Amino acid sequence: MALCVRALLGSAAARSLASPGRSLLPLRGRTLTLPGLRCASTVQQRVELKRRKALEGGGEKRTEAQHARGKLTARERVALLLDPDSFTELDMFVEHRCSDFGMEADHNKDFTVFGGSLSGAHAQKICKIMDQAMTVGAPVIGLNDSGGARIQEGVESLAGYADIFLRNVMASGVVPQISMIMGPCAGGAVYSPALTDFTFMVKDTSYLFITGPDVVKSVTNEDVTQEELGGAKTHTSVSGVAHRAFENDIDALLSLRDFFNFLPLSNKDPPPVTECHDPSDRLVPGLDTLVPFETTKAYDMLDIVHSIVDERDFFEIMPNYAKNIVVGFARMNGRTVGIVGNQPKVASGCLDINSSVKGARFVRFCDAFNIPIITFVDVPGFLPGTAQEYGGIIRHGAKLLYAFAEATVPKITIITRKAYGGAYDVMSSKHLRGDVNYAWPTAEVAVMGAKGAVQIIFRGKENQAEAEAEYVEKFANPFPAAVRGFVDDIIQPSTTRLRICRDLDVLASKKQTNPWKKHANIPL
């Protein structure tokens, strides 16, 4: 039910790519005046006329066509996304500068106007907004519904893209950038969402691809539909390009409001804290019996996450991609946290290429924007096999390791069951500057499982069953790690929420810096 309401007001800058660049916002109570207004009655009339035409967008007919496709116009979308009366539009009067090919000078480009293709003027508007967002430290939200470059404008349009890409890169890690794909987004345009922190899509009406089905057919002779090639399902479950998909425009925009509430405004802003009605010292008795006795039996990590976070409110990122790792945002005692957890229910919760990359990107986002990271560990190791080795599990796995190691935000780790081998090190271990590392009594921190270990140590010897029992007794428990201080405490699972909330309070003032560098070199 949590509806966000908070203020996009005075906090966010909205940018629309295909949709009209009419955007910008409202900065912390300061009012922005529209440029170029002069008081003269004739001018006034012209202003009114132009403004009215701009508000009409592509006119009634095109608006209807957009609606018929199950989509809203840019103006409707913006109205839904933002708080009432908080949107201040800039550059409503900018016209594109091209008059070739019979195009008439008209205002702007939501999909109802020129199919939302990107013109030089359009790009200029977007850049202006982004520059301003960077200066004030306001997040950027792009609502994309664009046919791509405006071919008629040629190189000017391409230059426009590059200008936007540069801003995306410069803003990366400074202010959160979110792309909502609400229509086609093809060709060069796709790189802007790819550069932003989160890409969301609307099911059935949005597509992302470098080249459309026609070009694919002519080049590779593959028959593929738009939906298969670059629909929401493809990108959220197969390619991992998009982070989440929503049912329709309204669902998407209202969910975006919820999501936005988790984020800080910029890298200088602390993570937001909201009023919390869920007691921070709430015990969760169900957790005491959650982890099954048989170490080979699966359970749902989301059960743990939901019962520990405030009000079971968990915004999962990439819920359908690399499901063996769970990442997303939640709150602990009102404070935004990032959650990373191995999912024993899927592929035993092992780390593979996709899950490592998914986890790494999420951890780096949290670190960039001061969001504490809580990691739940139940990992049997990295996934073996030729497919993984040939695919480069070594360098991809290294990304997750890198991300956890370089993160300087508060890091709290709970080992719920298995923490085997290199994967133990990777999952925000004490050795990677974990601030607080806990183990549940069911934890097993070891180089590998009992059976495998005994097969190697006692190769060709008898009494393997006995040796296995001894191994279990010695290593399949949290004590070896606890006596060395690699876990700070062995805690009763039901007290986990209470402990995390308390630790977050202490760690709120954590200050840690990495050595000066131009930028680090993550193994891409």
Between residue 263 and residue 302, which ones bind other proteins under the rule CB under 8 A? Answer: 265, 269-270, 272-279, 284-290, 293-294, 296-298
240 is catalytic: no
The number of C-alpha atoms within 13 Å of 279 and in the hemisphere containing its C-beta is 5
Q: Which of the stretches 84-92, 127-135, 176-184, 464-472 binds other proteins when contact is defined by CB under 8 A?
A: 84-92
Q: Is 249 in the site for other proteins (CB under 8 A)?
A: yes
Q: Is 248 in the site for other proteins (CB under 8 A)?
A: yes
- Candidates 65, 80, 136, 398: give the one binding other proteins (CB under 8 A): 80
| Contact pattern for other proteins over residues 173 through 202, marking x by CB under 8 A | ------------------------------
Q: Is 61 in the site for other proteins (CB under 8 A)?
A: no
Between residue 13 and residue 42, which ones bind other proteins under the rule CB under 8 A? Answer: 26, 28-29, 31
The catalytically annotated residue of 21, 147, 160, 187 is 187
485 is catalytic: no
Indicate the residue among 103 and 283 with the shorter CB distance to other proteins.
283
- Candidates 9, 210, 224, 398: give the one binding other proteins (CB under 8 A): 9
Q: Is 495 in the site for other proteins (CB under 8 A)?
A: no
Give CA–CA dist 138/8, Å, rounded: 10
The catalytically annotated residue of 422, 452, 467, 469 is 422
Indicate the residue among 363 and 454 with the shorter CB distance to other proteins.
454
Query: Which two structure tokens, joined as six digits, stand for 129?
Result: 């907004």
Do 341 and 300 touch, CB atoms closer than 8 A? Answer: no
57 is catalytic: no
Q: Which of 508, 507, 14, 509 is nearest to 260 (CA)?
A: 14
Query: Which two structure tokens, joined as six digits, stand for 302?
Result: 């989301």
Q: How far is the CB of 283 from other proteins (least distance, A)?
A: 10
Between residue 319 and residue 358, which ones bind other proteins under the rule CB under 8 A? Answer: 323, 334, 344-348, 350
Q: Is 4 in the site for other proteins (CB under 8 A)?
A: yes
Helix residue ranges, H only, 105-248: 120-136, 155-171, 191-195, 213-220, 226-230, 232-233
Cα dihedral 433, 330, 141, 147, rounded to 10, equals 100
Q: Which of 313, 323, 328, 384 is nearest to 349 (CA)?
A: 323
Cβ neighbours of residue 99 under 8 Å, at least 6 residues apart?
105
Indicate the residue among 142 and 349 with the shorter CB distance to other proteins.
349
Cβ neighbours of residue 434 under 8 Å, at least 6 residues apart?
375, 411, 412, 413, 428
Q: Which of 398, 413, 436, 397 is nearest to 338 (CA)?
A: 413
Q: Is 154 in the site for other proteins (CB under 8 A)?
A: no
Give CA–CA dist 220/212, Å, rounded: 12
187 is catalytic: yes
Q: Is 510 in the site for other proteins (CB under 8 A)?
A: no
The torsion angles phi and psi of 444, rounded to 5 degrees, stand at -130, 105
The catalytically annotated residue of 148, 160, 188, 349 is 188
Q: Is 306 in the site for other proteins (CB under 8 A)?
A: yes
Q: Is 448 in the site for other proteins (CB under 8 A)?
A: no
Give CA–CA dist 190/178, Å, rounded: 13
Q: How far is the CB of 348 from other proteins (least distance, A)?
A: 4
